[in-house]
């Protein structure tokens, strides 16, 4: 049964002639119009940018144009062999010359449809940190963060990243919005809106001496973070907290808090200012730093054991 299909199709093509060719093109034209209308309705319902919608419709038109050309050749020539030769030649040319552009367009479609990031998000692509300024058919334009300076503040330097590299890179998004994913377009099972990640977790490390008042230091750094991030605490309901660990010269406090990705540098700097002022006003806590203390005289062991000393070797 299956072996007769090519022979039956060949007989049908040879008997159709120009009439079959015209009928085929008419059917394809109607199918294109209907599918284009459905695609346009789908894209506009997802609130895609107007230029993105137009680009997708542009590619959709040329996809159907290629399909119509292939079927037109089959219908008017009445030969499957002609189709095979044409398809092989076309595939060879496209494979050699359009590999990178086609990969780039496929990556652009992935970005537009799946939305791993959008314009305005802060991302890391190919090791480059930046804010997404534009997404085109061929490139993603970033306003670089850092690069010319330390930290995470905008440098004003534009970076063009080819879309074709997206499939081979790990992409980090500081502002990934779960509402943009397909899974989160509907409400969650409990009827509440899906979670968003407008904020990220950041930390400020603070090093204390072994002789410092741990409880006082912890309360001081948490209060400093709470003052600076008061609005974020109200929005997220998550208070700053501390994780502690020991190191050679004292106690390491890791002050952790929710912050805005694009403003994390300013927020951490403001917290550090308050911590420094608080430590200066509180004699029970002292910063630890690597140093060597040398004492002379018979009271060296006593001096070395005074509270607040982070270490040192008596001599």
| Annotated domain spans of the chain | 2-97, 114-179, 199-280
pLDDT in tens, 67-106: 777 666 666 665 556 556 666 666 666 566 566 777 887 8
DSSP state string for 275-312? HHHHHHT-TT--B---------STTHHHHHTSTT----
Q: How many CA atoms lie within 13 A of 186 on its CB side?
A: 4
Q: What is the pLDDT of residue 284?
A: 93
Q: What is the pLDDT of residue 119?
A: 87
Q: Hey, which bits of 81-198 come out as E strands? A: 122-125, 128-135, 139-145, 154-162, 171-173
Main-chain phi, psi angles of 115, to 5 degrees: 55, 55
Compute the residue count for the chain. 315
Residues near 315 by beta carbon (within 8 Å), at least 6 away in sequence:
294, 295, 296, 300
Which pTM value belongs to this model?
0.62
- At the second CATH level, the architecture of 114-179 is Roll (2.30)
Query: What is 199-280's CATH number, 3.40.50.620, 3.30.70.100, 3.20.20.70, 1.10.1740.10?
Result: 3.30.70.100
pLDDT in tens, 275-312: 999 999 999 999 998 777 777 766 655 444 444 444 44
* 203 close to 209: Cβ distance less than 8 angstroms: no
Helix orientation angle between 80-97 and 5-45, rounded to the nearest 10 degrees = 40
Measuring CA to CA, how many Å separate 115 from each of 158, 183, 186, 292?
A: 22, 12, 16, 54
Q: What is the pLDDT of residue 161?
A: 92
């Amino acid at each position: 049964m299956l072996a007769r299909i090519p022979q039956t199709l060949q007989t049908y093509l040879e008997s159709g002639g120009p009439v079959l060719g015209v009928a085929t093109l008419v059917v394809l034209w109607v199918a294109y119009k209907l599918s284009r209308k459905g695609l346009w309705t789908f894209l506009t319902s997802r609130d895609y940018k107007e230029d993105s919608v137009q680009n997708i419709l542009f590619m959709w038109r040329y996809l159907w144009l290629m399909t119509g050309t292939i079927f037109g050749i089959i219908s008017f020539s009445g030969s499957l062999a002609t189709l095979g030769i044409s398809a092989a030649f076309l595939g060879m040319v496209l494979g050699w010359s359009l590999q990178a552009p086609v990969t780039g367009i496929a990556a652009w479609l992935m970005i537009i449809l799946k939305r791993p990031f959008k314009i305005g998000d802060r991302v890391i692509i190919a090791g480059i940190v930046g804010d997404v300024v534009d997404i085109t058919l061929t490139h993603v334009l970033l306003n670089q963060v850092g690069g010319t300076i330390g930290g995470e503040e905008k440098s004003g330097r534009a970076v063009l990243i080819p879309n074709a590299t997206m499939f081979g890179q790990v992409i980090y998004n500081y502002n990934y919005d779960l509402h943009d994913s397909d899974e989160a377009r509907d409400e969650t099972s409990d009827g509440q809106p899906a979670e968003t990640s407008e904020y990220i977790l950041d930390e400020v490390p603070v090093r204390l001496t072994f002789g410092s008042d741990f409880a006082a230091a912890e309360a001081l750094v948490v209060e400093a973070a709470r003052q600076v991030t008061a609005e974020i605490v109200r929005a997220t309901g998550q208070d700053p907290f501390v994780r502690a660990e020991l190191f050679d010269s004292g106690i390491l406090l890791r002050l952790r808090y929710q912050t805005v990705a694009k403003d994390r540098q300013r927020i951490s700097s403001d917290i550090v200012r308050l911590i420094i002022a608080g430590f200066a006003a509180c004699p029970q806590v002292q910063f630890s730093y690597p140093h060597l203390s040398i004492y002379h005289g018979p009271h060296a062991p006593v001096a070395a054991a005074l509270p607040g000393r982070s270490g040192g070797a008596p001599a």
